[in-house]
Amino acid sequence: MFYAFVSKAAQLIPAPIVRKCRLYKLAGLFLNKAEEELIFNEVFVRKLKRNEHKVLEYWKKYRYLDEIQLRCNITEDSKVLDVGCGISTVLPYVKGERFGIDPLADEFWNIYEYPKDISIGKGFGENIPFPDKYFDVVFCSNALDHVEAPENTVAEIHRVLKAEGHFVLTVELFEAKIKRDPAHPYAFTKNDVCSLLEGRFQIIFEAESPWIGLRGYLDGSRKAHNKELIMLSQKV
Ligand SMILES: C[S@@+](CC[C@H](N)C(=O)[O-])C[C@H]1O[C@@H](n2cnc3c(N)ncnc32)[C@H](O)[C@@H]1O
């Protein structure tokens, strides 16, 4: 009942207002993590249907997709995984044999039809359901601060990557640790991110963009208080 009410309200309130008034924090008092993630994505699907091209636009403009693809040399033969792929996955815009995992994949299939040539299934970053050294490239965009155990997730991404495979991470940055909401158990500083990668990955490209978020971008928002870190690293 409360879920249905919040879901309806979330459809109506523009993303900048949701963020400014910290409505996710408020909703988080009543919803669990999965419910919060699902509501976000139900809203997202509605907006996406009218603006699908804007996802690629966002990836190119704010997440440096062209630069990343060049450096990773993704080809039709590459195996590519997106961890915490959600609905706004980058996979339709890259070449190769493509896989996405998300704990809510089954629920997402009920509200969104992913492209047929991409395999999307249920899975957690902390326990990636693929063998060692399987992928050439692993994306994890706007998802590392959603997982329960980021260290295990980074270790798993390292495990499933081939030698010298590439890890594409995008994550919202904070100046200091803060308590967020059930969907976001973590608030990372840049140092936190570097510590998570240390010893496993060598950074080869990084950039910072205004943290708009895809839903915010579809809503027309272009300004942001925080930054999004875009980091491309290579397995060592
Ligand atoms: C904001 S969405 C990101 C979607 C997409 N990757 C993007 O770039 O916009 C965060 C996703 O992380 C997923 N998630 C939450 N916990 C996770 C976990 N333990 N392992 C993998 N993904 C998780 C959520 O279900 C949600 O779909």
Residue 148 lies in a domain: yes
Atom of ligand 1 nearest to the CA of 102: 22
Q: What is the pLDDT of residue 26?
A: 67
Q: Is 36 exposed, middle or buried (0-12, 13-18, 19+ CB in 10 A)?
A: buried
Atom of ligand 1 nearest to the CA of 90: 8
> Are 157 and 231 a contacting pair, CB within 8 Å?
no
> Are 224 and 211 a contacting pair, CB within 8 Å?
yes
Q: What is the pLDDT of residues 71-115, one digit of tens each?
A: 999 999 999 999 999 998 999 999 999 999 999 999 999 999 999
**Total structural domains in the chain?**
1
Residue 78 lies in a domain: yes
Cross-strand partners of 188? 173
This prediction's pTM: 0.92
Residue 21 lies in a domain: no
Residue 201: strand, helix, or coil: strand
Question: In CATH, what number is assigned to the domain containing residue 184?
Answer: 3.40.50.150
Phi/psi for 206 (5° steps) reads: -150, 150
Q: What is the pLDDT of residue 20?
A: 60
Residue 96 lies in a domain: yes
Residue 108 lies in domain: 52-235
Q: What is the pLDDT of residues 188-204, one digit of tens each?
A: 999 999 999 999 999 99
Q: What is the pLDDT of residues 124-140, one digit of tens each?
A: 999 999 999 999 999 99
Q: Which residue matches tokens 């490239």?
A: 137
> Are 183 and 37 a contacting pair, CB within 8 Å?
yes
Q: Which amino acid would we find at residue 78?
A: S
Residue 140 lies in a domain: yes
> Whose C-alpha lies nearest to ligand 1, atom 9?
88
Residue 169 lies in a domain: yes
Residue 157 lies in a domain: yes
Ligand 1 within 6 A of CB of 102: yes
Residue 81: strand, helix, or coil: strand
Which residue did the predictor score with more confidence, 23 or 85? 85
Q: What is the pLDDT of residues 149-192, one digit of tens each?
A: 999 999 999 999 999 999 999 999 999 989 998 999 999 999 99
Ligand 1 within 6 A of CB of 148: yes
DSSP annotation of 13:
S
Q: What is the pLDDT of residue 49?
A: 84
Phi/psi for 129 (5° steps) reads: -80, 55
Residue 43 lies in a domain: no
Q: What is the pLDDT of residue 223?
A: 81
Burial state string for 66-93 with b = 16 or more CB within 10 A and e = fewer than 16: eebbeebebeeebbbbbbbbbbbbbbee
